[in-house]
Amino acid sequence: MMFEKIALIGIGLIGSSIARAVHQHGLAGSIAISTRKAETLAEARALGLGDSYTLDSAEAVRGADLVILCVPVGAYGAVMADIAQSLRPGAILSDVGSVKEHVVKVLAPLVPKDVSLIPGHPIAGTEYSGPAAGFAELFVGRWCVLTPGPEVAPQAVAKLRGFWQAIGSKVEIMDPGHHDMVLAITSHVPHLVAYNIVGTVADLEAATQSEVIKFSASGFRDFTRIAASDPVMWRDVFLTNRDAVLEMLGRFLEDLSVLQRAVRMSDGPALEAMFTRTRAIRRSIIDAGQETAIADFGRPHGAEAPAVAEVSENSAFVARADHGGGDDA
Ligand code: NAP
């Protein structure tokens, strides 16, 4: 047991995955769960994710030696205002938000002196939301970035590092601004591109749209999985990591213009050289253990494959129905 009481504020995909992993590894004496809506709390209770349940986040954090905020980044200010006075002296306050500089800016002024603020970001996720979407193995083999300030005691950082390692993550310590720049290009801009390409299809006239859906396996389908990610969470990512996203988006658009020109000029060697470089990047991601080398992202084929209707019934476009994506925010 690493902590006496862990308080999870927010119990969606990430919060419920942490709860499941904490249970699985016996890392806490008790887990207190708090969320905004009564129906989400009831769902968490029905799933047996915690030991106590409350809509009052201040009550949840009372006596907790680890508090993890698992709500959209845009909600941090209001949540922090509710819990700040109830945090236990000596506690660690962390989070899982996809953006880090903004989080430090919002949380740090409200953190009591005797509480260690150690922002965190597990680079793991799927396109699903809510308490039922979580699973204990979500963090296994995935990175978790921690961004403590220089004032935080090394023992507190070591303790939180040990926590994430115990639930299967590899941990890296980073400066919050550097984190935001790296994630802008590895996660935020790719999501923006996916939202855009799927949005373009959504705006097509009906006849063309149905053909795109019919032939989606030719590439479009893989964008739809990312573009099915939670709208509120992603709205907040772009509102709070604006500068880094705009910087990376600028580079992306410059490179896209180069490709556009190569296509216009029928510059085969330029296109081939570019596609050869990108193939090497994918190979290095597989070598780093961050993706499967199985063809077609490991989708089942032939007899193992589920009926198409089964996969697509909840989605306007065909999306991946398994848990293994390792997609992140
Ligand atoms: P989720 O499944 O949608 O769950 C969100 C949770 O936050 C729910 O318990 C929800 O409660 C609560 N919540 C939403 N709006 C709130 C508000 N305004 N005030 C208070 N509580 C609110 O989201 P998630 O995917 O777990 O994401 C949570 C955090 O993890 C986000 O900060 C996100 O950036 C980060 N993250 C996500 C991923 C990913 O792939 N999904 C990966 C890494 C990090 P109610 O249902 O009661 O409203």
pLDDT tens sequence across 159-209: 999 999 999 999 999 999 999 999 999 999 999 999 999 999 988 888 888
Output the pTM of the full model.
Answer: 0.90
Would strands 3-9 and 52-54 be described as parallel, antiparallel, or unpaired?
Answer: unpaired
| Residue 323 belongs to some domain of the structure | no
With a CB cutoff of 8 Å and minimum separation 6, the contacts of 56 are 34
Q: What is the mean pLDDT of residues 120-137?
A: 96
Both 155 and 14 in one domain: the answer is yes
**Contact residues of ligand 1, CB 6 A cut-off:** 10-15, 35-37, 40, 70-73, 75, 79, 96-98, 121-122, 125, 129-130, 230, 233, 328-329
pLDDT at 300 over 80: no
> How many domains is the chain partitioned into structurally?
2
- The residue whose CB lies within 8 Å of the most ligand 1 atoms, and thus the one to mutate among 61, 70, 102, is 70
Residue-wise pLDDT tens digits, 48-95: 999 999 999 999 999 999 999 999 999 999 999 999 999 999 999 999
* Distance (Å) from CA 218 to ligand 1 centroid: 32
Q: Which two tokens stand for residue 206?
A: 């009906």
3-state helix, strand, coil in the chain (%, to 5): 55, 10, 35
Kindly state whether residues 24 and 62 are assigned to the same domain. yes
Ligand 1: atom nearest CA of 126 is: 40
Within 10 angstroms of residue 303's Cβ, the number of other Cβ atoms is 5
Q: What does each C-alpha distance from 133 to 98, 225, 316, 323 come to in angstroms?
A: 18, 15, 19, 9
What percentage of the chain exceeds 70 in pLDDT?
A: 92
**Same structural domain, 50 and 141:** yes
Question: ∠12-15-18 over CA atoms, to 5°?
Answer: 140
Verify that 37 and 52 share a domain, yes or no. Answer: yes
CB 79 within 8 A of CB 69: yes
Residues 132 and 191 in one domain: no
